[in-house]
Structure 1
Amino acid sequence: MTYPRLSRTVIAAAVAATILVPVSSVAEQVTIGQTFLASGLDPAKGSNGWALVSHGIGEQLFRVSRAGEVVPNLAASAKRNDDGTWTVELAPNRFFSDGTPVTAAVVAAALNRTGAANPSARATAGRLTFTPVGTGTLMVETEQPTTILPSILAEWAFPVYRLSGDTPIFTGPFAVDSFEPGGSIEMSPNAHYIDAEARPNVTLRRIADGQSLALAFASDELDMAFNLPVETLKMLNATGKEVTSFPVSYQYMMWMNTRSPALSDRRVRRAIDLAVNREDLVTASQAGVPASGAFARSYPFAAEEPLQHDPKKASELLDAAGWILGDDGVRRRDGARLEVVLYAYPQRPDLVTFQPVVRAALAKVGIAVTTQVTESPSDVAASGEFDLFLWAQHTAPAGDPGLFLSLFFETGAARNYSGWSNPEFDALIANLRAEGNPKARIDLARRAQEMIAAEAPVSFLVTPEWHVGLSSKLEGYALWGSDYYVIRPDLVLAR
């Protein structure tokens, strides 16, 4: 993935629509299974915006292309003005699924509402204020100076919508017919999106765990099974099922709760990070590469040096912190055992696969681990009721490092699950927000990763590959962009 080239003026031709050949006048049916589903249809709440774009329902003003570049989508261009504001021109002839045209007034109302309600929309440049200037032009003010507004508008928190009463209406290639929270979404082609007649109807099913997902695909219940567990691939291959593996820009990581008594000590956190062998995790998942830091190595702002595995140094740090190894192989200090609870969640099957590997690695240095699996990872992470938490995150969803570093690590940030606070890091992120030079942004992002590595509020583990099953109906459908663009306008039946 390439680093987006964002100058003071970002003007690009409108994204050319994919040329599609109509299949029939009556849409056929495709069933897609995933371990995750939007928790609701309101983009202003939680992570719904990400899921709605992934599902082919919502779209942003800008998006990330297959090549990793930020390109116009519902917008045609964005220009930074001399006073630091931005002028965004909308693309012509774009419509919501009810036929209502996309106008500056409607976009401003939606994105101002999202900015007020959703902390994730305020992470990179603070609160954005959208003001319509005519039918197709927006003026955008940012609470904190930024030179990368197109990248920010490609973040998952910013899909465009309009409210019809309390019901959000979107612009994506598929429209919602019915929604069963936690269960399924029935969708039909958006009649007001180009080449609508070529797309099938889609049933999007949430299947809670990867094993059940694989069995549903094996029994021909699904035309796509997204993110299959690696241990099911042999069985599926034996049945002749097509499974595609592709690299993603997610990072698998392990949050360390700095509010936990034992983990409040940096030496203990560093010891845990050093004790885990990332190569063992890659072997367990049978795919991916060891992480070097917060970002996949395909990004120019990724950390360059490999992360260390050094159990001897880990033991020395624990000794220095006063945790003495007992005859039973568990460390103690002041009579208390060094024991932690390690959480994972089944929506990302590899994380559950990692649990016994991490437990064994920590046992070798005298840390006792109990494992837990939760169906509600966001709730547990936000509650702070954990010690260690295996987590999957797309760390550069809009091709820029700023969102992840600010949203998950700044003091008091909405998703600072580890509870870490470092004034020097906060100052660096403030500089990153204001910096427009791409090389300087790379340098700042790498320095931020060095600070995180030194304090270890998180342990970055693996850059994964994912596995997707495709039936003959979807033969040749290319997966890319991790899980941000699973269902796209080019989802059509194979001929």
Structure 2
Amino acid sequence: MPKIRLICFLILSMFIFSGCGSDSETADSGEKVFRYGTTAYGVEMGNTGLNPHSDYSGWSAVRYGVGETLFKFNDKMELEPWLAAGYEQLDDYTVKITLKDGIKFSSGRALDGQAVKQCLEHLIAVHDRAPGDLKIQEITADGQTVTIKSAEKVPALLNYLSDPYGAIIDMDYGITDERNVAGTGPFIATKISDTEIELKKNPNYWNGNVGMDKVIVTEIIDGDTLTMAMQSGELDAVQGLPYASLKLFRDSDRYRISTTDTSRCFFAQLNLENPILQDYNVRRAIAMSIDKKSFTDNLLHGNGSAAVGAFPSNFAFGNESVTAPEFNLQEAKNLLAKSGWNDTDGDGYVDKNGQKLTIRWLTYPGRQELPLLAEAAQATLKQAGIEVIVNNTANQQDFLDRGEWDIFASAFVTAPTGDPEYFFTTHCLKNSAKNRGHYYNEELEQLAQQLHAEFDPHKRAELAVKMQQIILDDCAFIFASHLKMSFVMKSNVTGFAAHPSDYYEITAALNYN
């Protein structure tokens, strides 16, 4: 390891971990302390603090056991009650939610309909995404019930309320200058900064005994430092290790790894403003020249699953329901030849009318998987006769705005609320904000309207499958891999598991033997 990284680790240990106490000190004090290092908390993620009504800080509130939502997702990403006892759909625009009895905020206030009403009204008044998702027109409260009326049909309303921005907090307690809140979760924050959160047990938690007395969540963005901190025993668990480091822990009985597929997908959009990419044969040839299995098995060291469509196999509308062009370099060459692209000068790349087939591949370094995907695609597309020029830049938006790209590869959580509509409305429709390649399909637009008005989850899944198949058949989007979320922990840690939603981490069940 370079000397500078060793120095960084030693400094980090002195400033972060020295105040946490060793295992023996924990034993002497009688406190159970859990030390957690993660790359997923910090200013760059927009999730510092615990105020769910600000940016993505709701993810931190829910992840770290301070806030809870009315409903939550199980391991199959199906909705189930959490703070709510149940609901009744009064009509296409109105839902009545009944709350569980006996729940209190950490402030001591009882959870009731009025508290939920206050919280949600503040949310839609100040949040950037929630108003557009929820489309709430009116909220009324009566005892342990809250009734929400939407301005238009929102079949996925309960899913949206399960987004971490929907964590219910006590608005009478308010939001402190330190960005702390009073939630209903098993933990209460005692200290908050842009790089660390300290939590203590909520002694009056409503949903069972809380296993840990104290939790310390620390942002560590350097992969080597994170790895060394786990190896040295300074941390009890980590999230975000470099893939190459995972093998250090996989075969040791000192550690345990929890892994699950998530809906974070690494995928490419094709720029249909480029006349060359308006040729279906060229698009399909590109799709057939990307070796997804090799990418996930070799470059991701098995920490991803090869994608077919937008959603992983553990979703009802996931991979197993759709088909996409398979990796086949010879067939890709045949398709290019059908459209007049042949290697006439023997340089290894196909050309047509004196023009080499060159693709500008735009991506960014913020996700460690994306530069690896660019590298893999560049190698296999070269074998098909297509030159790929990679632009891996943190300023990707500038190139998108100027249209200086042919393929844009990015990472996106395609179903953050367990519902398929979100991906299509953000990326695939005529007016989608992230439809960067100006893709358009009339049948897709019509199915999207049906999906927006359909309440039955099984019918929504069927529509999602049809819509995925359309964009896959058009070869306007190429889905490479679904991220596998991995938590590494000491072997004595229990109640700490990766979840496909990427929302739930620190819970009352967290403990160690």
1:230-249 CA-to-partner distances (Å, cap 9, x unmatched) read 32233335665413142313
> Does the C-alpha gap of structure 1 residues 180 and 105 become closer, same or farther in structure 2, counting only changes over 3 Å?
same
- 2:282 corresponds to 1:278: no
1:475 CA drift (Å): 4.5
Residue 92 of structure 1 aligns with which residue? 101
1:470 CA drift (Å): 0.6
Tell me which amino acid in the other structure corresponds to 1:150. L
Tell me which amino acid in the other structure corresponds to 2:361. V
Q: 1:140 aligns with which of 148, 167, 170?
A: 148
Q: 1:403 aligns with which of 422, 426, 435?
A: 422
2:100 and 2:192 map into 1 onto residues whose CA distance is 29
Q: Report the structure number with the largest CA radius of gyration.
A: 2
2:398 and 2:215 map into 1 onto residues whose CA distance is 29
2:89 and 2:247 map into 1 onto residues whose CA distance is 52
Residue 388 of structure 2 aligns with which residue? 368
TM-score by length of 2: 0.78
1:422 and 1:47 map into 2 onto residues whose CA distance is 32
Q: 1:97–1:192: 8 Å Cα contact kept in structure 2? A: yes
- 2:327 corresponds to 1:309: yes
Residue 35 of structure 1 aligns with which residue? 39
- 2:70 corresponds to 1:57: no
Residue 278 of structure 2 aligns with which residue? 265
- 2:221 corresponds to 1:208: yes
Q: 1:234 aligns with which of 237, 247, 259?
A: 247
1:287-310 CA-to-partner distances (Å, cap 9, x unmatched) read 243222112223222252442223
Q: 1:220 aligns with which of 211, 233, 251?
A: 233
Provide the identity percentage: 24
| Structure with the higher helix share, 1 or 2 | 2
Q: 2:237–2:489: 8 Å Cα contact kept in structure 1? A: yes
Residue 467 of structure 2 aligns with which residue? 448
2:232 and 2:417 map into 1 onto residues whose CA distance is 37
1:32 CA drift (Å): 1.1
Partner SS for 2:87: strand
1:415 CA drift (Å): 4.8
1:275 and 1:413 map into 2 onto residues whose CA distance is 28
Tell me which amino acid in the other structure corresponds to 1:30. F
> Does the C-alpha gap of structure 1 residues 352 and 53 become closer, same or farther in structure 2, counting only changes over 3 Å?
farther
- 2:198 corresponds to 1:186: yes
1:78-103 CA-to-partner distances (Å, cap 9, x unmatched) read 11114631111222232333333333
Q: 1:174–1:189: 8 Å Cα contact kept in structure 2? A: yes
> Does the C-alpha gap of structure 1 residues 356 and 412 become closer, same or farther in structure 2, counting only changes over 3 Å?
same
Structure 1 window deviating more from structure 2 (87-96 vs 444-453): it is: 87-96
1:251 CA drift (Å): 4.4
Give ranges in structure 1 of 5+ residues lacking alignment.
1-22
Partner SS for 1:249: strand
1:432 CA drift (Å): 0.8
> Does the C-alpha gap of structure 1 residues 390 and 208 become closer, same or farther in structure 2, counting only changes over 3 Å?
farther
Structure 1 window deviating more from structure 2 (248-257 vs 278-287): it is: 248-257
Structure 1 window deviating more from structure 2 (335-344 vs 207-216): it is: 335-344
Residue 174 of structure 1 aligns with which residue? 187
RCO greater where, 1 or 2, for CA within 8 Å and sep 6 or more?
Answer: 1
Structure 1 window deviating more from structure 2 (384-393 vs 249-258): it is: 384-393
- 2:324 corresponds to 1:299: no
Give ranges in structure 2 of 5+ residues lacking alignment.
1-26
2:285 and 2:188 map into 1 onto residues whose CA distance is 49
Tell me which amino acid in the other structure corresponds to 1:309. F
1:273 and 1:84 map into 2 onto residues whose CA distance is 41
Pairs within 5 Å for 1:462-473: 462-473=481-492
Q: 1:185–1:203: 8 Å Cα contact kept in structure 2? A: yes
1:45 CA drift (Å): 4.0
Q: 2:175 aligns with which of 136, 153, 164?
A: 164
> Does the C-alpha gap of structure 1 residues 111 and 358 become closer, same or farther in structure 2, counting only changes over 3 Å?
farther
Structure 1 window deviating more from structure 2 (440-449 vs 82-91): it is: 82-91
1:197 and 1:486 map into 2 onto residues whose CA distance is 14
Q: 1:53–1:59: 8 Å Cα contact kept in structure 2? A: yes
> Does the C-alpha gap of structure 1 residues 157 and 263 become closer, same or farther in structure 2, counting only changes over 3 Å?
farther
TM-score by length of 1: 0.80
Tell me which amino acid in the other structure corresponds to 1:281. F
Tell me which amino acid in the other structure corresponds to 2:175. S
Partner SS for 2:142: coil
Tell me which amino acid in the other structure corresponds to 2:508. P
Q: 2:93–2:151: 8 Å Cα contact kept in structure 1? A: no
Structure 1 window deviating more from structure 2 (259-268 vs 352-361): it is: 259-268
1:43 and 1:360 map into 2 onto residues whose CA distance is 43
2:440 and 2:209 map into 1 onto residues whose CA distance is 49
1:197 and 1:24 map into 2 onto residues whose CA distance is 20
1:121 CA drift (Å): 3.0
Structure 1 window deviating more from structure 2 (293-302 vs 364-373): it is: 364-373
Q: 1:103 aligns with which of 105, 112, 130?
A: 112
Partner SS for 2:265: strand
Pairs within 5 Å for 1:473-484: 473-475=492-494, 477-484=496-503
1:80 and 1:381 map into 2 onto residues whose CA distance is 42
1:314 and 1:352 map into 2 onto residues whose CA distance is 23
1:355-375 CA-to-partner distances (Å, cap 9, x unmatched) read 42222122223122325264x
1:289-333 CA-to-partner distances (Å, cap 9, x unmatched) read 322211222322225244222334444555677766565445667
Q: 1:251–1:461: 8 Å Cα contact kept in structure 2? A: no
> Does the C-alpha gap of structure 1 residues 289 and 197 become closer, same or farther in structure 2, counting only changes over 3 Å?
closer
1:457 CA drift (Å): 4.1
Residue 162 of structure 2 aligns with which residue? 154
Tell me which amino acid in the other structure corresponds to 1:340. R
Q: 2:477 aligns with which of 454, 458, 462?
A: 458
Partner SS for 1:463: strand
2:222 and 2:129 map into 1 onto residues whose CA distance is 27
Tell me which amino acid in the other structure corresponds to 1:230. Y
1:488 CA drift (Å): 1.8
